[in-house]
Structure 1
Amino acid sequence: MSMLSLRSHVPDDIITAADRLPGQADVVVIGGGIIGAAAAFHLAGAGLSTVLLEADKLSSQQSGRNWGFVRTQYRDPLELPLALEALALWPKLERELETTVGWRQTGCVFVAATQKEMAAFAGWHDKTRDIAREARLLSASEVTALLPPLRGRTEGALYTASDGQAEPVLATTAFARAAARRGARIVEDCGALAIETSGGAVSGIQTEHGLIRCSAVVCAAGAQSHRLLAPLGLSLPQQSVRSTVSLSAPLPPLSEACFCGFGIGLRQRADGSCIIAADSTSDIDLSLDSFRAARFFLPGLLRHGSGFSLRLGRPFIDDLHQRLAVPHRERAVARRPRIPANSRLAASTGAAVRDLFAGAAGIEIVKSWAGRIDVLPDALPVLDAPTEIGGLVVATGFSGHGFGLAPAVGRHVARLAKGEPAAAILAPLRLDRFARGTYSAPHAPL
């Protein structure tokens, strides 16, 4: 993959004229996660000259740090049509992208430890049975048959055999490499400072290393999206939470299906190693920025406070330093320190897996990491072309659900960037739902 790195400490004289930042493109995609990479792939495939900008490295943020679930199961009913569209595309991706993405159709199972959880699964199943036709409820005995190593009593489960899993970094880089083969320019270490407009329409992107003139922009910048949209008069009530994930050494078969239950999430990879995390448990690193749009999030925090841990530490100091020392529009590209994993949570999650599954007694945690999940008040993404700014497409706020949606999102982004009308399934994902007050509470805890 031909890529240009423009990290600021690289002397200008070692960047050849041919490698300089592109001065013009039809469309610029901001964000080198899987959403941005998939968008670039489809945009280049539509014949548009495309530049993909990433302030760090491809897949360096949440797209390379998530669980790797590809699920339709227990999605918000408003998001479910998009998830079903994406699931139909995943089995074809390796052929389309000409490389492996680690796709395996292993199913997904959510086990109910309590009658309350089982009632929630049954309610979702009843509401979505006409569209989520592969999902079914399992009795406690059926759970035992599906998961022989699982210890403890269950109340049943929700199971979708057609769901699956893939490897986050492989899938993200596969989209980017395929986009490059289609002619897209991929520029790493180059953050977007501002979206430039003229006459109410996009005219370019001001980057750390110069201006790229363009008539369309895709804002897929994850947790930095609100900073880029605010100067355009577009309010995005976006916050972020820190999620810790661990990788175990290979273990005997525990669960072929992606597993959630008893407070943990687990995905057993092809080599037997397991991606594990605490389910619906995240850290909120308090900063001055935490109070922006707090009114949108306070009701959910009060309802599900046990799932969040409020922490005051280094992020607060870093935020204060940025406000005092970094010009406002440069904060979107300020180099962020490594995101620390919650070592205590990683250890307790490993212990929970050991206790929950026969065969996991010798579990060894190889490494742990953390990622910042950008969240919106209803835990649904924004996928929209706001009428206020011609040529702008927003694809952000996926609230930890974006990995599995990416193949479909990329297609919709390309259509929106070409000026085509939004598909009906995108109506609940409009940006203005927050200004209009038409959003609802999250379907499940963030």
Structure 2
Amino acid sequence: MAPRITPVQTSQEMPRSTTVVVIGGGIVGLMAALTLAERGIPVTVLEKGRIAGEQSSRNLGWIRKIGREEHDLPLSLASERLWAAMAERVGADVGYRRAGIMYVARTEAEMAGHRAWLEAVGKALDARLLTPGEIDRLVPGGTGGWAGGIHSPTDGRAEPTLAASAIARAALSKGAVIVEDCAVRTLSMAAGRVAGVVTERGEIGCDQVILAGGLWSRRFLGNLGVSLPTLPLVASVLRTAPMEGPTEIAVGAPDFSFRKRADGGYTITQRGAFIVPLVPDSLLIGHRYLPMLRAQWRNVRLSLGRDFVNDLALGRHWGAAATSPFERVRTMDPPVNEGLNAEAMRNLVAAWPAFGNAVIEESWAGTIDVTPDSLPVISPVAKLPGLTLASGFSGHGFGTSPAAGRLAADLATGAAPIVDPAFYRLERLSS
């Protein structure tokens, strides 16, 4: 089960027309809707299940610049500025804290990677390399043994269970319409461009559509003859009861990570391993991920089971009058891999023994949509004029959502883009 989010009273009625329809009530779609509503542009968000029911409430809540690719950094920097002002913007605490992020390394090879990033990308930021002694001072109580680390004191965190709800309420207060349990089956086209969307409850006319469907965007576009290469990756997470911990800094090690929560507990995961379910798309586009797999093969745990059959049963093509896959699966809720969570705790306790006293209160899993280059697509879809895509965030969607949602809104309405969108174009992934 997903963590429980702060409830939001959404709309019961669906309008017959609007200016922009946002497909998907995750945090990127909600940020796009808030941006549009603040600009006085009529917008309706349609969510097949509940807002933030999938990865938007299940992620770790990290907001980071550290480790970003050079051309992805402007989106992170813009998002950091927007996160800093989010509480005032939405009139509620979203849990944003600029407490810092640190990566620790066990080997000189790992340190060489941090040095290379710092020299190529991070030298203009506040990130710096750490000695083992500095790690012990910043995160006391550890058993040591680190080769070193890297630290950005201005990186931070926010709370996934608070943020999406606060953003949704702010968008509603500014005139946005949000409808839950309303799946969009397909687009309505007229004169060669988008004229509306066809939902399970009927059709809504509109001028523009933003598709922010997360892991479902590939299937939605495939039904329209557009290829978006993404594959699923499943991460398992746990949270502890409130406890005394070693630091407010979020720490990532090769085989665990932890970060302080607003409720006083910690969010923990096995950072060094993830589950890759084998599905039909693995056979169709899996070869495009071979460079990534070669670089991270130690982290990959392949899973062949019901995922393949269940995915196949959902179907790839359907008509506007037919029940869509999005109605058959309202919320993707993968099972928790308790083995990975147990690994995370063992590794963490070995490094910082204070976590041996942790009481685990909840665990969950989430499915991440990953592109071959681990960068999102925030881009018009040339084959379908009037459609803007914002998906494929590869585990970075929460942290970059304020600027990503704004960029999608900018592109959909012709406003000056908040960052250069060239690196996020769909065409870069054309095979």
- Range into which the TM-score falls when normalised by the shorter chain: over 0.9
Give me the whole-angstrom Cα distance separating, in 1, the residues matched to 2:364 and 2:262: 20
- Residue 421 (structure 1) shift: 5.4
Aligned amino acid, residue 22 of structure 1: P
Give me the whole-angstrom Cα distance separating, in 1, the residues matched to 2:266 and 2:40: 40
Which of 53, 56, 65 is the matching residue for 1:60? 53
For residue 353 of structure 2, give the secondary structure of its aligned residue in structure 1: coil
Aligned to 1:126: 119
Residues 379-408 of structure 1: per-residue CA shift (max 9 Å, x gap): 000111233332211111000001111111
Aligned amino acid, residue 43 of structure 1: L
TM-score by length of 2: 0.93
Residues 189-245 of structure 1: per-residue CA shift (max 9 Å, x gap): 111111222223211111111111111000100011112223444211111111100
- Residue 422 (structure 1) shift: 4.4
2:190 is equivalent to residue 190 of structure 1: no
Aligned to 1:307: 299
Rate the CA distance shift 1:389–1:321 in 2: closer, same or farther, 3 A.
closer
Which of 345, 352, 370 is the matching residue for 2:340? 345
**8 Å Cα contact 1:350/1:365 also seen in 2:** no
Give me the whole-angstrom Cα distance separating, in 1, the residues matched to 2:332 and 2:226: 28
**8 Å Cα contact 2:55/2:368 also seen in 1:** yes
- Give the stretch that moved more between structures: 176-185 or 322-331: 322-331
Aligned to 1:3: 10
Rate the CA distance shift 1:251–1:45 in 2: closer, same or farther, 3 A.
same
Equivalent runs, 1:414-433 vs 2, <5 Å: 414-420=409-415, 422=417, 425-433=420-428
Which of 86, 96, 99 is the matching residue for 1:106? 99
For residue 177 of structure 1, give the secondary structure of its aligned residue in structure 2: helix
Give me the whole-angstrom Cα distance separating, in 1, the residues matched to 2:218 and 2:253: 33
Aligned amino acid, residue 226 of structure 1: R
Aligned amino acid, residue 266 of structure 2: C
Aligned to 2:325: 331
**8 Å Cα contact 1:238/1:376 also seen in 2:** yes
- Residue 424 (structure 1) shift: 5.4
Rate the CA distance shift 1:85–1:324 in 2: closer, same or farther, 3 A.
closer
Which of 30, 37, 53 is the matching residue for 1:37? 30
Aligned to 2:5: none
Aligned amino acid, residue 374 of structure 1: D
Aligned amino acid, residue 3 of structure 1: T
Residues 145-169 of structure 1: per-residue CA shift (max 9 Å, x gap): 1111222211111101011111012
For residue 79 of structure 1, give the secondary structure of its aligned residue in structure 2: helix
* Identity between Structure 1 and Structure 2 (%): 36
Give me the whole-angstrom Cα distance separating, in 2, the residues matched to 1:33 and 1:207: 18
Give me the whole-angstrom Cα distance separating, in 1, the residues matched to 2:36 and 2:406: 8
For residue 293 of structure 1, give the secondary structure of its aligned residue in structure 2: helix
Q: Which runs of 5+ in 1 are unaligned?
A: 5-18, 438-446
CA RMSD between the two structures = 2.0
- Residue 325 (structure 1) shift: 11
- Residue 77 (structure 1) shift: 1.5
**8 Å Cα contact 1:27/1:217 also seen in 2:** yes
Aligned to 1:228: 220
Aligned to 2:370: 375
Aligned amino acid, residue 55 of structure 1: K
Q: Which runs of 5+ in 2 are unaligned?
A: 1-7
Rate the CA distance shift 1:56–1:117 in 2: closer, same or farther, 3 A.
same
- Residue 329 (structure 1) shift: 7.3
- Residue 365 (structure 1) shift: 1.6
Rate the CA distance shift 1:356–1:44 in 2: closer, same or farther, 3 A.
same
Aligned to 2:250: 258
Residues 45-71 of structure 1: per-residue CA shift (max 9 Å, x gap): 111111011111011100000001111
Aligned amino acid, residue 154 of structure 1: W
**8 Å Cα contact 1:285/1:310 also seen in 2:** yes
For residue 135 of structure 2, give the secondary structure of its aligned residue in structure 1: helix
Give me the whole-angstrom Cα distance separating, in 2, the residues matched to 1:337 and 1:395: 19
For residue 289 of structure 1, give the secondary structure of its aligned residue in structure 2: helix
Aligned amino acid, residue 217 of structure 1: V
Rate the CA distance shift 1:409–1:424 in 2: closer, same or farther, 3 A.
closer
Rate the CA distance shift 1:347–1:253 in 2: closer, same or farther, 3 A.
same
2:16 is equivalent to residue 23 of structure 1: yes
Aligned to 1:87: 80
Aligned to 1:9: none
Rate the CA distance shift 1:297–1:64 in 2: closer, same or farther, 3 A.
same
Aligned to 2:396: 401
- Residue 143 (structure 1) shift: 1.2
For residue 25 of structure 1, give the secondary structure of its aligned residue in structure 2: coil
Give me the whole-angstrom Cα distance separating, in 2, the residues matched to 1:332 and 1:270: 33
- Give the stretch that moved more between structures: 209-218 or 351-360: 351-360
For residue 368 of structure 1, give the secondary structure of its aligned residue in structure 2: strand
